[in-house]
A and B are shown apart, each in its own frame.
Chain A
Amino acid sequence: MIQLKHVSKVYDNNIVALENIDLEVKEGELVILKGVSGSGKSTILSLIAGVLKPTSGDVLVDKKHIAKLPDHFSSQYRRDNIGFIFQKYNLIPTLSVWENIMLPLVPLNLDEKELQEKLMHVMNMFTIVHKKEVLVKKLSGGEQQRTAIARANVNNPKIILADEPTANLDQKLSCEFIQILKKLKSLHKTIIVATHDPLFFDLDFVDKVIEMHNGKLQRQSVVCS
């Protein structure tokens, strides 16, 4: 479903973030990308989400060339396929929980009923509905994350990308996230989690753990369950 072929990314300041990456993720798989800070995990996620273009190589999602999409279509592609849980959540702090979650749906101009259904669905699923009117800047870290997850799922995407999802969470909340991950996996989402949190490395429902080092893939270990 997701394929990276000979992908390299060199940033404007000549930092080589990725070097000749080959990677394949099948539909419904849960893949953990691990590696130290600066190894290029976030860069891979951005490439798959189409918010970044590779310097060379090709990114294919559902056989579509994501890397070559013009801006207009890459937005459309994200809207239809991708739920991105960002490293720092990237919520809009001055909007309320439900306003944040609704944002991906705004350009679609759905009717009121359909919109409300979608919102209630994800807010219930990620237990944030009790805070729906609260401004995001007044939420706790865990609540912010659940809001971000709800927003990533509101358009019912096939692919979920999560960047350091537990970096700002304590032990208990991290475990909660693992449960959410399990739930998403059971919904047959294709999931890639970038993290260096050891908590993820030997979960029984993870399909692959891929280690990165200096912009290269170190090894792929298949977790047997």
Chain B
Amino acid sequence: MKKINLYLLEYALGYIVRYRAKNIFIGVVLTLLIAVLASFFFVQNSLQYELASTLDAQPQIIVTNQKAGRDTTVDEKMIEKLLTIKGVGDVTSRVWGYYEFKHMNAKFVIVGIDTFENQYNTTLADIANNGELNASSMLIGEGVQKILNKSYYRDYFNFMTPDLHVQKIYIAGVFKAATTLESNNMIVMSKDTARKIFGYTSSEATDLAVSVTNPDELSAILVKIQNLFPTFHVITRKDFKIALQNQFDKTSSIFLTLFIITLFTFFMIVYDKSSGLSSEEKKEIAILKAIGWKIEDVLKARLYEGLIISLVAYLSGIILALFFVYVLNAPVIKNIFIDYNDMTNDFVLPFVVDYETLFLLFLLSLPVYMFATVIPSWRVATLDADEVMR
């Protein structure tokens, strides 16, 4: 093959400009389509990444107590009993729960820690290493700080206990969390302070975090715990992962349907626009053939044209989507995922760009457009030039 034919490329560019009304329309539709699809993909990727890192912050095994088939609190005395099981490495009680800031329309997670204990998660380990928490102080995530500041809570917050007492807790500092989710919804205080806010007694805990010395024995240990304590509900990190993944797959399949519908709609719009080649365009093709262009030359020109339009549309679509998702934080689209997956809202998406996604989008958008433009031209190009020119 010879080097790329710049004259043909120039002709294709000129063609776009000469028939600009139509091409701008198609370009804009294509850009918007790619922007919408890319936004969905970006949000999905970000959330998935976020969930994966959140899961990594979970203990290997969580034991909850159940009453009437519902989760209830567990007594710290159970720690001793669990530690007697062979293969169990460490058992920590966890005091945590949700607290709704109704007037701010936000729901935060309060986590109680004792700094002398082994922490099951890196963010908490960092906090514990950095010092003490007293009975009336808390540390908050950077995201939480932003939200509290909006309501002018800069130094303290008044929590309401279940028996309607006010607990004034001072903001002792802001921590940097390992995940955006933690940064945006986590408040850390001492276990005793958290107990007060939740209305727990001094030996009550939300659940127990269990680690095993040898991960291979995990399932055997699960069985042992279950046999010894039939009212306990045992969840592993893996169970968590599967449950979350299922949720995500459901959302993704809804999204996939949407995706196909959008793609199809676009195909119809473009096909409609370009199969209705104007008589001028038809005539131009006939003239080119009559002066010695081959069908392949005509199609090559259209291919260049399609390539230019779809490349420009692709790039501007991606840029639009990046702006929408990571600067505007994906309003509307994010909510589709979050509502569905029951996650807290005010939440900044972590920047995750997956090249496979970009490539997939490219592959999906390009041929659709090419198909829709090249085929009608091909039909005209194979006609007798003589007939079209008359």
Task: List the interface of chain A (C-beta within 8 A of B).
Answer: 46, 49, 51-53, 71-72, 75-76, 78-80, 82, 84, 86, 90-92, 94-95, 99, 102-107, 109, 115, 151, 155
A interface, over-half SS: helix
**Residues of chain B within 8 A of A102, CB atoms compared:** 7
Tell me the smallest distance from the CB of A160 to a CB of chain B, in Å.
13
Asked if B386 contacts A72 (CB within 8 A), the reply is no
B191 located at the interface, meaning its Cβ lies under 8 Å from any Cβ of chain A in the complex: no
Contact A46 B386 (CB under 8 A): yes
Residue-wise, chain B 9-20 has the 8 Å CB interface mask toward A (1 for contact) of 001001000100
Contact B287 A75 (CB under 8 A): no
Contacts of A90 in B (CB 8 A): 283, 287, 290, 389
Listed in ascending order, the chain B residues whose CB lies under 8 Å from chain A are: 2-3, 5-8, 11, 14, 18, 283-284, 287-297, 382, 384-386, 389
In the complex, A151 Cα to B293 Cα: how many Å? 13
- By a CB distance below 8 angstroms, the chain B residues around A53 are 384
A78 to B382, CA, bound (A): 16
A106 touches B384 (CB 8 A): no
Give bound CA distance, A72 to B8, whole Å: 18
Nearest B residue (CB) for A105: B7
The list of the 6 closest CB pairs from A to B, nearest first, reads A79-B292, A75-B294, A107-B297, A78-B292, A109-B5, A52-B386
Contact, CB under 8 Å: B386 / A107: no
Q: Are B386 and A82 in contact (CB under 8 A)?
A: no
Q: Which of B11, B288, B290, B291 has the most CB of A within 10 A?
A: B291
CB neighbours (8 Å) of A84 from chain B are 290-291
B290 lies within 8 A of A107 (CB): no
Q: Is the CB of A76 within 8 A of B386?
A: no
Question: In the bound complex, what is the Cα–Cα distance between A67 and B7 (angstroms)?
Answer: 31
Is there an interface contact between B287 and A107, defined as CB atoms closer than 8 Å? no
**13 other A-B residue contacts (CB within 8 Å) besides A72-B296, A78-B291, A115-B7:** A72-B294, A75-B297, A76-B294, A79-B292, A86-B389, A90-B290, A95-B18, A99-B14, A103-B287, A104-B291, A106-B297, A109-B6, A151-B291
Point out the residues of chain B lying under 8 angstroms from A115, CB to CB.
Answer: 7
Q: Residues of A contacting B297 with CB < 8 Å? A: 75, 106-107
A106 touches B294 (CB 8 A): no
**How far is A92 from B289 in the complex, measured between Cα atoms in Å?**
13
Q: How far is the CA of A105 from the CA of B384 in the complex (A)?
A: 21
Nearest Cβ on chain B to A116's Cβ, whole angstroms: 12
Q: Are B292 and A109 in contact (CB under 8 A)?
A: no
For residue A49, which residues in chain B have a CB less than 8 angstroms away from its CB?
290
| Chain B residues, CB < 8 A from A52 | 384, 386
